[in-house]
Structure 1
């Protein structure tokens, strides 16, 4: 079974987009473009993972398009899910959620948690009394 048989396509070096349930090429191309732009950020560690898109075959389903992504950014995992009425809305929603997750991961490493100074009763810095007191 090849990637074409399963509907898998490569977006960036190691992120795959898989489609099931009769997803047309135009919708899949738009989704690949949106995923690539969501992950296009300078200074990111290596990115890998998979995005899965499914179109429900039942006509009575209100939100027939669903998608999910599990993207590993360096050592962190970004997981997003979305359900929408159209492929265009699904691509936009997944883009927004992936972008937010990637930004959260990128900024988490920018602002490394710093340990606070211990309180005065545990040997931390003491407040200075005013000179006139």
Structure 2
């Protein structure tokens, strides 16, 4: 099958985008699994995990964050500088899950690098 250089380049770009989508899906799935596991472990210890609401004023500025609240309705983690400032990894370490899960920041870094690669090679 004879393919021109442009067709081959288009196929490579499509393949890179599909790999990127798969990584993003894996990241979203890992995040959901980790969040669910944190909720289970914290609930067993008498804590509640709160995620920043979608319409919260800080969500645009700081992104998605979490707070851990104890049985007496006091914040244990996630309110040092502003509300919901704990990351999911910090919550996992608090819950005792730190050694069992994939490093989410590492996956996000890989996705950002893949995005940068796709952008620079497409130009």
If each structure's strand is expressed as a fraction of its own residues, which one has the higher value?
1
Q: TM-score, normalised by structure 2?
A: 0.28
Q: TM-score, normalised by structure 1?
A: 0.27
Bigger Rg, which one: 1
If each structure's helix is expressed as a fraction of its own residues, which one has the higher value?
2
